[in-house]
Copies of this chain bind each other. A is one copy, B any other.
Amino acid sequence: MSDGAVKFTLDEREIPTEWVNLMADLPGQALPPLHPGTKEPAGPDDLAPLFPAGLIGQEVSAEPAIEIPEPVLEAYKLWRPTPLYRARRLEREFDTPAHIYYKYEGVSPPGSHKPNTAVPQAYENQVAGIAKLTTETGAGQWGSALAFACRLFGLECEVWMVGSSYDQKPYRRSMMEAWGATVHRSPSDRTEAGRSQSEHPTGSLGIAISEAVEVAAQNPDTNYSLGSVLNHVLLHQTVIGQEAIAQLAQAGEEPDVVIACVGGGSNFGGLAIPFVRRVLRDGAKTRFVAAEPAACPTLTRGVYAYDFGDTVGLTPLMPMYTLGHDFVPPPVHAGGLRYHGDSPLLCGLVKQGLVEPRAYRQNETFEAAVRFARAEGIIPAPEPAHAIRAVIDEADAAREAGEARVILFGLCGHGHFDLSAYDAYLAGKLEDPEFSEADMQAALERLPDAPALV
């Protein structure tokens, strides 16, 4: 059936009807988040000022599968199912016997995987009678996804956009405004948190989160919405991996390795979790590679500790790899990967050795992105360019081993708003910032006082 096939499509009736909750399959008890004041385990009540009951229930659920509400499925039809491609031209470009597949999430209106969770988040807030959502955005992918989702469900949307991305990607702001959202450059002077960070004009996801959380916490009709990190966000993204399983079955293949980039972990989790569950349940032999920027190497260089999700310290403490909550990463173009921490769920998988993290420099990821674009056509966002760089490693290894290994990677978004970075790369003027070990060590000294993790 798959002889020569390039694109594996599904009908809209084949959109998954459930999300996969990996929490139910993980051995032992998950480490709880801790209240930022008391350092006691934080429960559902502690999340209520920011999130609606529907999402809190998903966040703490122990059920292995959670049904997708009908209005969410209806909205998913605007772009799902997304295509799975066999990258035959890229295989020739890389001169590898590997079979390379990519799941392309850039067909959504905002151009990334982010609306997979923005839509159910907007829906559950609408159900709860909330009028407005606040959020942060790095590269703008998340902010535009939430702007789009809020428009579908009739909510207002207010976005704090990380300063360096706000300057690099003005059209992402325009896109959010076209869908009716309000956008502020972060750090802004509209919040205590923003004013306290004015010495960091490039901003960071951690600072922007503090601003959005502060506004949501102060207004009863306003909730906060997070685009990654939390369990319910990774949960919503599992439509990606479920569709990929169905599409690889069309191709008659099983992946030897699944690769995705990691900022807060939702893109990686969304693709990988359904495959991880098969490893846990059925003993499948799949490997997993998480690709991150060398300028913000949370999984490869961070410490495993309880830390705040935001810079100022308003969120619960979460058990995760961290570079320190007030570490400000260099302004690489992969704005969606500039986060000091990572999803506790993903960090647990890394800690257990189920997921192998790798870090790549900015210029080598753009080199990989240009090779991909010239072979396959699609111009990748800088974030999944990290995954493509890891694919090169795996394709090389397959050639050296002489094995037709099956590589699946997540192409989580297009680069239509990142072309100034391509311009700089093609002109040989793209910066290749180094990670500052000293800055991280200083940030780690300011870790909150909390139980140590082993």
Which residues of A pack against B, CB within 8 Å? 4-7, 9-12, 74, 77-79, 85, 89, 107-111, 148, 151-152, 170-171, 174-175, 177-180, 370, 373-374, 376-379, 416-417, 419-420, 422-423, 426
Taking a contact as CB atoms under 8 Å apart, the answer to whether A9 and B9 are in contact is yes
- Report the Cα distance A179→B372, complex, angstroms: 10
Taking a contact as CB atoms under 8 Å apart, the answer to whether A416 and B171 are in contact is yes
Taking a contact as CB atoms under 8 Å apart, the answer to whether B9 and A416 are in contact is no
List of B residues within 8 angstroms of A180 by Cβ = 374
Taking a contact as CB atoms under 8 Å apart, the answer to whether B152 and A377 are in contact is yes
Taking a contact as CB atoms under 8 Å apart, the answer to whether A177 and B423 are in contact is yes
List of B residues within 8 angstroms of A373 by Cβ = 109, 178-179
Q: Name which residue of chain B comes closest to A4, CB basis.
A: B74
Taking a contact as CB atoms under 8 Å apart, the answer to whether B374 and A179 are in contact is yes
List of B residues within 8 angstroms of A108 by Cβ = 377
Q: Name which residue of chain B comes closest to A379, CB basis.
A: B178
Taking a contact as CB atoms under 8 Å apart, the answer to whether B6 and A9 are in contact is no
Q: How far is the CB of A425 from chain B (nearest CB, A)?
A: 9
Q: How far is the CB of A302 from chain B (nearest CB, A)?
A: 33
Q: Name which residue of chain B comes closest to A5, CB basis.
A: B12
Sample (22) of A-B pairs whose CB atoms are under 8 Å apart: A4-B74, A6-B78, A7-B12, A7-B78, A9-B9, A9-B11, A78-B377, A107-B107, A109-B373, A109-B376, A109-B377, A109-B378, A109-B379, A152-B377, A171-B171, A174-B422, A174-B426, A177-B423, A177-B426, A178-B374, A178-B426, A179-B374
Using A178-B419, A417-B416 as known contacts, say yes or no to A6 and B377 having CB atoms under 8 A apart: no
- Report the Cα distance A109→B417, complex, angstroms: 14
List of B residues within 8 angstroms of A110 by Cβ = 377
Stoichiometry (number of copies): 2
Q: 10 closest A-B pairs (Cβ-Cβ)?
A: A109-B377, A174-B419, A171-B419, A6-B77, A416-B416, A174-B423, A7-B12, A178-B422, A109-B378, A78-B377
Taking a contact as CB atoms under 8 Å apart, the answer to whether A7 and B179 are in contact is no
List of B residues within 8 angstroms of A4 by Cβ = 74
Contact of A377 among B11, B79, B419 (CB under 8 A): B79
Q: Name which residue of chain B comes closest to A106, CB basis.
A: B107
Q: Name which residue of chain B comes closest to A426, CB basis.
A: B177
List of B residues within 8 angstroms of A170 by Cβ = 419-420
Question: Quick one: which of A79, A170, A420 has the most chain B CB within 10 A?
Answer: A79
Q: How far is the CB of A409 from chain B (nearest CB, A)?
A: 17
Using A9-B11, A370-B178 as known contacts, say yes or no to A420 and B171 having CB atoms under 8 A apart: yes
List of B residues within 8 angstroms of A148 by Cβ = 377
- Report the Cα distance A177→B370, complex, angstroms: 10
Q: How far is the CB of A183 from chain B (nearest CB, A)?
A: 12
- Report the Cα distance A12→B9, complex, angstroms: 8
- Additional A-B contacts beyond A6-B74, A78-B377, A109-B377 (9; CB < 8 A): A6-B12, A9-B10, A89-B152, A109-B376, A174-B422, A174-B423, A175-B419, A178-B370, A178-B379
